[in-house]
């Protein structure tokens, strides 16, 4: 739902530029695209400035591109709140008068900059209205990989603490004290150990002494409340076979909690949960269902009204409903999405995010007795990838989430697997939202999943030709990153994948590339799974995982082969009894005689399908793939005592044959995974993931 970091002027400029076709892109064009990618997608404005400067100094005779570089460098400075932007816009106007459209945009930007007083505490891009300031609330870092971020956060009523989700040892509710700079875990769940569970969606009580959140034991969902000392009580459990139960906001009198409750069909109902008794009062059944919920509702300070967004995907509107009952009435109807509404602490305004093709904007509307007293007005632009969390007397607390997935290829020595070059990003647009790359068995195509505007499988010819796109069925049913295990059928006639639905149900999908039609099979389990198609066109192997003391899955733990013609399932590998089982990265050798996978999240395994023998090659590795001859396994893992991520090539006996520091080519904290070794042995394809989560406070919003 959130668009990537594209700004209104960027898209306006793109629509008026004349496209010039080249057989090959010139060096200055490549550099310009890299700078734009760094600015728009990676949101690294300082690095983008360096790249634009490099273009200006290296190619001074390429006047069209120099002019554009100057304009965009001005934009970068403007977004950083730096009045230095002025001289770049002026240079475009004075020195490049032949670029009429660009000059016009520079004049508009210059006029805006000249009225802007330089902010001193701005941490996020965009022009700020007078007196509006942005403060970075969290200075511990924002990397999921390093476990340093506090996700899905909200600010305490007194402004001294942030509650969020910590991933350092498990998925726990944690509180960050802004004064002491310390993090305190409220819940104590650890990965793969008792007690089993995870938490999400925390919200403060009005006195700041308790936190309500959603808890799951991987099967059931509960609304739980904890004190800051960790004393916990269950407030409400969702019905059997139903989905999530998500707290959004505690009422100011402390009596009720605004909550989303999912039913067995996947749809959410908005209601009030008694903070004392746990009863659920129904207010409105929504038209949407999703794996992850954004801030889609807010309770007025007097507790009389709820504002919420509802409607179909990409056409969400704002509504108001009385908490005593009645029919919801429209608050704002716009052709694009309006979401994340928050009521001001004094009850006089509602702010919300309005999304358009050109970006995302913060709007406000004045309210009187639950009704609009005027039209929505703009507060701030540049709100892409933002979730509004809560609004206290200190200001609006919001989170910025940037999650970039890119596909890269790397030349390899086909005999050894040692890299013979540097990683190159895949030449495909849009970037930043592509996952699960896999070579066809004949090496003529690369298939992957893209999810920027819609979920689809992309079939890319390796040696050029027409790229094919196939929409994935029912994309609203599952989260982007629950799509896994994209694999080719043995005869290259199609591809397959698995996906977890909004209710946690797992399904296998198969696409026939000739007809473009999909088939799907529901798997007898909940949650994500890993799979590979084979050894023929009528069967696939998938992984079942479970905890032995809970009924998470109906399927036994292990590896199972399913025949789509007969409907029969047989177990091909049964692990030793354990408390918990996970299988990731399941992949056949190209002769279908062996399987490799990651067991218990870290153990690199290989299974001989003829003998049934499974053995561990090493620990602390991920994303394995066989060499074309099936005699070696390439995996990612610790290089030189875990100081960085390496490409590690193993023999089937577990001997490390070669290793290479792949992380040196990427920024710190980049996650590298999902590898596939090409049939000719000459290339490796993999993805990188740059995930940043930052939390901010916007002060003086309506002053």
Interior angle at CA 112, CA 107 and CA 115, nearest 5:
125
Number of domains into which the chain is organized: 4
In a domain, 233, yes or no: yes
User: What whole-number distance in Å separates Cα of residue 473 and Cα of residue 497?
Assistant: 12
Per-residue pLDDT tens for 109-159? 777 666 543 333 333 333 445 567 888 888 665 555 555 567 889 999 999
User: What whole-number distance in Å separates Cα of residue 285 and Cα of residue 208?
Assistant: 30
Q: What is the mean pLDDT of residues 94-104?
A: 84
pLDDT score of 18 more than 60: no
pLDDT score of 360 more than 90: no
Per-residue pLDDT tens for 318-333? 999 999 988 999 998 7
In a domain, 196, yes or no: yes
Higher pLDDT, 479 or 264: 264
List the CATH number of the domain containing 72: 1.25.40.10
Lowest mean pLDDT among 74-83, 142-151, 606-615: 142-151
Question: What pLDDT, on the 0 to 100 scale, is given for residue 135?
Answer: 86
Same domain, 438 and 581: yes
pLDDT score of 390 more than 80: yes
Cβ contacts of 603 within 8 Å, gap of 6 or more: 616, 618, 619
User: What whole-number distance in Å separates Cα of residue 532 and Cα of residue 542?
Assistant: 7
Bridge partners of 390? 397
Name which of 700, 45, 26, 33 is nearest 382 in CA terms. Answer: 45
Same domain, 444 and 593: yes
In a domain, 85, yes or no: yes
User: What whole-number distance in Å separates Cα of residue 129 and Cα of residue 702?
Assistant: 10
Domain membership of residue 96 as a residue range = 8-114
Same domain, 434 and 504: yes
In a domain, 129, yes or no: no
Same domain, 449 and 470: yes
668 — pLDDT class (breaks 50, 70, 90): confident
Name which of 447, 530, 516, 448 is nearest 484 in CA terms. Answer: 530
User: What whole-number distance in Å separates Cα of residue 457 and Cα of residue 436?
Assistant: 10
Q: What is the mean pLDDT of residues 168-190?
A: 90
Lowest mean pLDDT among 213-227, 282-296, 620-634: 282-296
Question: What pLDDT, on the 0 to 100 scale, is given for residue 122?
Answer: 33
E strand or H helix at 106: helix 100-114
Name which of 259, 210, 211 is nearest 238 in CA terms. Answer: 259
Lowest mean pLDDT among 215-229, 508-522, 526-540, 615-629: 526-540
Instruction: Could you list the beta-strand ranges (E) of 323-426.
Output: 329-332, 338-343, 349-356, 359-368, 371-372, 377-380, 386-392, 395-411, 424-425
DSSP state of 476: G
C-alpha distances in Å from residue 532, one per residue of 262, 588, 645: 32, 7, 26
Q: Where are the alpha helices (DSSP H) in 477-573?
A: none
Q: What is the mean pLDDT of residues 207-220?
A: 92
Same domain, 157 and 257: yes
Per-residue pLDDT tens for 432-465? 889 999 999 999 999 999 987 778 999 999 998 8
Question: What pLDDT, on the 0 to 100 scale, is given for residue 363?
Answer: 93
Note the maximum CA span of the chain. Answer: 77
Question: What pLDDT, on the 0 to 100 scale, is given for residue 81?
Answer: 66
Question: What pLDDT, on the 0 to 100 scale, is given for residue 99?
Answer: 85
Instruction: Could you list the beta-strand ranges (E) of 527-670.
Output: 531-533, 539-544, 558-563, 569-573, 583-588, 594-599, 603-608, 614-619, 622-626, 632-639, 644-651, 656-661
Same domain, 306 and 353: yes
Same domain, 438 and 572: yes
φ, ψ of residue 252 in degrees (nearest 5) = -65, -25
pLDDT score of 541 more than 50: yes
Same domain, 337 and 452: no
Higher pLDDT, 618 or 483: 618
Portion of the chain with pLDDT greater than 70, in percent: 85
Buried residues in 190-207 as b, exposed as e (16+ CB within 10 A): eeeeeebbbbbbbbbbbe
Instruction: Could you list the beta-strand ranges (E) of 393-527.
Output: 395-411, 424-425, 434-439, 445-450, 456-461, 468-471, 484-488, 494-500, 505-512, 518-526
Higher pLDDT, 546 or 293: 293
- Look at the pTM and tell me if it is higher than 0.75: no
Per-residue pLDDT tens for 20-54? 333 345 788 889 988 888 887 677 788 889 999 99
Residue with tokens 């995996």: 635
In a domain, 121, yes or no: no
Same domain, 642 and 512: yes
Question: What pLDDT, on the 0 to 100 scale, is given for residue 323?
Answer: 96
In a domain, 702, yes or no: no
In a domain, 353, yes or no: yes
Q: What is the DSSP string of 237-292?
A: EPPTT---EEEEEE-TTSSEEEEEEE-TTS-EEEEEEETTT--EEEEEE-S---SS
Question: What pLDDT, on the 0 to 100 scale, is given for residue 319?
Answer: 95
In a domain, 60, yes or no: yes
Portion of the chain with pLDDT greater than 90, in percent: 53
Out of 78-92, 185-199, 323-337, 384-398, the most confident range is 384-398
513 — pLDDT class (breaks 50, 70, 90): very high
Sign of CA dihedral 132, 137, 139, 143: negative
Same domain, 67 and 164: no
pLDDT score of 616 more than 70: yes
List the CATH number of the domain containing 236: 2.120.10.30
DSSP state of 589: -
**Which residue among 289, 319, 343 closes a domain?**
289
pLDDT score of 526 more than 80: no
Q: What is the mean pLDDT of residues 205-214?
A: 97
On average, the pLDDT of the chain sits at: 85
pLDDT score of 557 more than 90: no
Same domain, 449 and 313: no
**Which residue among 393, 422, 441 closes a domain?**
393
Q: What is the mean pLDDT of residues 398-420?
A: 91
Higher pLDDT, 668 or 412: 412
Same domain, 182 and 255: yes
Q: What is the mean pLDDT of residues 402-425?
A: 92
pLDDT score of 494 more than 50: yes
**Which residue among 236, 265, 289 closes a domain?**
289
């Amino acid at each position: 739902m959130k668009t990537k970091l594209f700004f209104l002027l960027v898209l306006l400029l793109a629509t008026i530029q004349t496209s010039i076709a080249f057989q090959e892109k010139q060096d200055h064009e490549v550099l310009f695209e890299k700078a734009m990618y760094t600015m728009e997608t990676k949101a690294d404005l300082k690095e983008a400035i360096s790249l634009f400067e490099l273009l200006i100094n290296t190619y001074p005779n390429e006047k069209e591109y120099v002019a554009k570089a100057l304009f965009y460098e001005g934009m970068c400075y403007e977004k950083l709140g730096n009045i230095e932007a002025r001289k770049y816009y002026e240079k475009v106007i004075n020195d490049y008068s032949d670029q009429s459209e660009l000059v016009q945009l520079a004049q508009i930007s210059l006029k805006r900059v000249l009225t802007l007083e330089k902010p001193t505490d701005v941490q996020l891009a965009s022009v700020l209205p007078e007196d509006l300031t942005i403060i970075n609330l969290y200075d511990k870092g924002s990397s999921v990989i390093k476990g340093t971020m506090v996700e899905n956060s909200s600010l305490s009523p007194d402004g001294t603490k942030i509650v969020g989700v910590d991933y350092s040892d498990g998925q726990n509710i944690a509180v960050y004290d802004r004064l002491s700079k310390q993090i305190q875990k409220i819940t104590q769940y650890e990965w793969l150990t008792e007690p089993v569970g995870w938490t999400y969606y925390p919200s403060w009580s009005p006195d700041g002494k308790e936190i309500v959140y959603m808890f799951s034991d991987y099967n059931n969902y509960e609304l739980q409340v904890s004190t800051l000392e960790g004393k916990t009580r269950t407030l409400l459990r969702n019905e059997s076979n139903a989905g999530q139960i998500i707290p959004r906001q505690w009422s100011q009198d402390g009596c009720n909690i605004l909550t989303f409750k999912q039913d067995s069909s996947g749809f959410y109902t908005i209601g009030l949960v008694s903070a004392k008794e746990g009863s659920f009062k129904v207010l409105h059944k929504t038209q949407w269902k999703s794996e992850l919920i954004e801030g889609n509702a807010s309770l007025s300070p007097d507790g009389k009204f709820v504002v919420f967004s509802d409607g179909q995907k990409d056409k969400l509107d704002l509504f108001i409903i009385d908490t005593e009952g009645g029919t919801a009435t429209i608050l704002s109807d716009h052709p694009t999405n309006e979401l994340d509404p928050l009521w001001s602490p004094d009850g006089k305004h509602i702010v919300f995010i309005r999304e358009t093709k050109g970006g995302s904007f913060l709007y406000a509307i004045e309210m009187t007795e639950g009704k609009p007293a005027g039209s929505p007005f703009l507060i701030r632009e540049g709100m892409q990838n933002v979730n509004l969390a809560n609004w206290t007397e200190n200001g609006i607390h919001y989170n910025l989430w940037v999650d970039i997935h890119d596909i890269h290829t790397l030349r390899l020595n086909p005999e050894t697997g040692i890299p013979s070059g540097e990683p190159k990003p895949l030449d495909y647009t849009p970037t930043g939202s592509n996952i699960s790359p896999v070579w066809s068995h004949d090496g003529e195509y690369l298939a992957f999943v893209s999810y920027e505007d819609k979920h689809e499988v992309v079939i890319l010819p390796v040696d050029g030709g027409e790229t094919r796109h196939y929409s994935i069925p029912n994309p609203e049913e599952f989260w982007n990153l629950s799509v896994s295990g994209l694999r080719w059928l043995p005869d290259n006639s199609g591809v397959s994948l698995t996906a977890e639905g909004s209710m946690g149900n797992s399904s296998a999908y198969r696409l026939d590339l000739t007809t473009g039609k999909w088939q799907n099979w529901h798997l007898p389990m909940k949650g994500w799974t890993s799979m590979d198609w084979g050894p023929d066109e009528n069967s696939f192997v998938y992984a079942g995982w479970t905890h032995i003391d809970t009924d998470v899955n109906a399927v036994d733990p292990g590896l199972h082969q399913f025949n789509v013609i007969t409907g029969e399932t047989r177990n091909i590998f049964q692990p030793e009894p354990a408390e918990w089982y996970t299988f990731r990265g399941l992949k056949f050798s190209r002769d279908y005689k062996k399987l490799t996978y990651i067991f218990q999240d870290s153990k690199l395994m290989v299974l001989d399908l003829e003998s049934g023998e499974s053995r561990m090659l090493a620990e602390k590795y991920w994303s394995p793939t066989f060499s074309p001859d099936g005699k070696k396994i390439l995996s990612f893992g610790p290089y030189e005592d875990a100081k960085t991520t390496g490409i590690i090539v193993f023999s089937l006996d577990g001997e490390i044959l070669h290793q290479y520091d792949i992380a040196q080519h990427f920024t710190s904290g980049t996650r590298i995974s999902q590898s596939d070794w090409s049939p000719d042995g000459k290339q490796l394809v993999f993805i990188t993931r740059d995930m940043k989560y930052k939390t901010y406070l916007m002060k003086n919003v309506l002053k």
